[in-house]
Structure 1
Amino acid sequence: MQIADILRDRILQGAYRPNQQMPSESELMRAFDVSRITARQALGTLQNEGLVFRIHGKGTYVSRPRAFQDLGSLQGFGTSMRQMGYDTHSKVLSLRSVAPPKHVRERMACGERVVELRRLRFLNRAPISLDVSYLPSEIGGRVAKADLANRDVFSVLENDCQIMLGHADLRMCSLLATEELCKVLGVEEGAPILFIERVIHTSAGEPLEYEELYYRGDAFQFRVRVERHASGAR
């Protein structure tokens, strides 16, 4: 615990910078004259606190401060991050017409074909999320003409397509990184992933877009403010 306290202070004071490699177990053994198990436990404590992360075969690194997005408002990722001073952009991985998967048909009104958009989102030039969106063919075709590297789909829908958005239904859970997510997000296999399934509705209440969002669990978090409203007398 004493070694963990010392290393924690160094991280928080900036002696070890984000993404910098930490001293190895062997280096900690020599520096503090302790056993390997003690050095390993110290690094494990910091990993459990989210201050460091391990890459198998390479070592332990300082985690980046986690950016966050407020789930209390329906706002595009790019718009939200730029308002907080982050540099953000997207890379379109694929944009194609597909038959809607069964789970997409169950959650939004669509015909025999939908537009599937797969984007890799970047935050300060580092990959932060994989976003998969499904839109009705006609609307998706109009969205496809926009600058999706620098604009949110929400902005395109409201400004270019003149469709006012109303609310979103979402479900959130944690997943382990698959081979595909490891490749595009630069994480190790089995790393924690924040998964959001989101259905965007128009102001008239019609389901318009279905999204699957996969965020790096070590670099991003969501926040929401919950109010306690007084209920009637009991």
Structure 2
Amino acid sequence: MLKFDSPLPLHIQLKEILLRDIRADIYDDKIPSERELMDLYQVSRSTVRQAVTHLVQERVLEKVHGKGTFITKQNAVHDWLNTLNSFSETVKRLGMTPGAVLLEAQRQQASEQEQQYLQCDDVFLIARLRTANDLPIAVERHFYAPEVGEQLATYDLNAVTIYDVIEQQLQLVMVEAEQMICCCPISVEDAALLNIAPHTNVLCIERTILSLDGKVLEYYKSYFHPELYSLRLKIQR
């Protein structure tokens, strides 16, 4: 419920409550009317309108004149398995706006699996939250040999397409990739980033990309929102 003694404005508190309830599927297609929200939370019409306006601007809600305020149907991102595309390329192709939030960029001791792929005692990790139209879609982790990762870290990782930097700026050639796709429970920390329940089973993709010399250039692991991302494959008999 709202905390009237909190320094956080009431309309912001109400916005967060509505957002939480929408994501928890409390409402089917539309939220309660202004009057119902005013009565439920004992706030003014202005507070309700400000909260709803924020969610409309964030494309969570959509107002339909004379009918009410509806929950926006979220567009799912789908990718094809027959080509190696960056997340940004995939999202742009669908007419959506890609985004990235840098979570980590650091050199660290390699795990046994990372050491096996990259043949390094230390690796450079770049972790990012990926979005489409501001919706959280995936938590991506890229692992590189330190000399490659440290070069990538000199760029604005909140804005660049990593594969464009690798190919166009670092002049490294990505020849082919091998992917493993599975379903696994997501961690508490990653679940919070994707706004889903902890330990939800999600789509997990592990990938290695080979360079011209046949060595692994990148080891990649990502977790995708189960309702907002899918993979497609065309096959013939």
Q: Matches of residues 52-131 of structure 1 in structure 2 within 5 Å?
A: 64-110=74-120, 112-131=121-140
Q: Matches of residues 129-148 of structure 1 in structure 2 within 5 Å?
A: 129-148=138-157
Aligned structure 1 segments of 4 or more residues deviating by more than 3 angstroms: none
1:156 corresponds to which residue? 165
Give, as a single letter, the amino acid of the residue that structure 2 aligns with 1:178.
S
TM-score normalised by the chain length of structure 1:
0.68
Q: CA deviation at 1:150?
A: 2.3
Counterparts in 2 of 1:98 and 1:152: CA distance versus 1, 3 Å:
same
Counterparts in 2 of 1:227 and 1:155: CA distance versus 1, 3 Å:
farther
CA distance in 1: counterparts of 2:108 and 2:80, whole angstroms: 32
Q: CA deviation at 1:62?
A: 8.0
Secondary structure of the corresponding residue to residue 147 of structure 2: helix
Sequence identity (%): 21
Contact 2:77 2:94 in 1 (8 A): no
TM-score normalised by the chain length of structure 2:
0.68
CA distance in 2: counterparts of 1:175 and 1:96, whole angstroms: 26
Q: Write the deviation string for residues 81-117 of structure 1: whole angstroms up to 9, x where unpaired.
A: 112211111000111110111011112232x321111
Contact 2:114 2:123 in 1 (8 A): no
Secondary structure of the corresponding residue to residue 159 of structure 2: coil
Secondary structure of the corresponding residue to residue 117 of structure 2: coil
- Which segments of 5 or more consecutive residues in structure 1 lack a partner in the other structure? 1-17, 24-60, 229-234
Contact 1:90 1:150 in 2 (8 A): yes
Secondary structure of the corresponding residue to residue 107 of structure 1: helix
Q: Matches of residues 177-196 of structure 1 in structure 2 within 5 Å?
A: 177-196=186-205
CA distance in 1: counterparts of 2:231 and 2:176, whole angstroms: 17
Q: Write the deviation string for residues 159-187 of structure 1: whole angstroms up to 9, x where unpaired.
A: 11000111111111111232112211110
Q: Which residue of 178, 188, 204 corresponds with 1:169? A: 178
- Between Structure 1 and Structure 2, how many residues are aligned? 174
CA distance in 2: counterparts of 1:73 and 1:212, whole angstroms: 17
Q: CA deviation at 1:66?
A: 2.0
Give, as a single letter, the amino acid of the residue that structure 2 aligns with 1:187.
I
Secondary structure of the corresponding residue to residue 168 of structure 2: helix
Contact 2:208 2:219 in 1 (8 A): yes
Counterparts in 2 of 1:108 and 1:218: CA distance versus 1, 3 Å:
same
CA distance in 1: counterparts of 2:154 and 2:112, whole angstroms: 27
Q: CA deviation at 1:75?
A: 1.4
Q: Write the deviation string for residues 114-137 of structure 1: whole angstroms up to 9, x where unpaired.
A: 111110001110111000111011
Give, as a single letter, the amino acid of the residue that structure 2 aligns with 1:193.
V
Q: CA deviation at 1:227?
A: 4.5
Q: CA deviation at 1:151?
A: 2.0
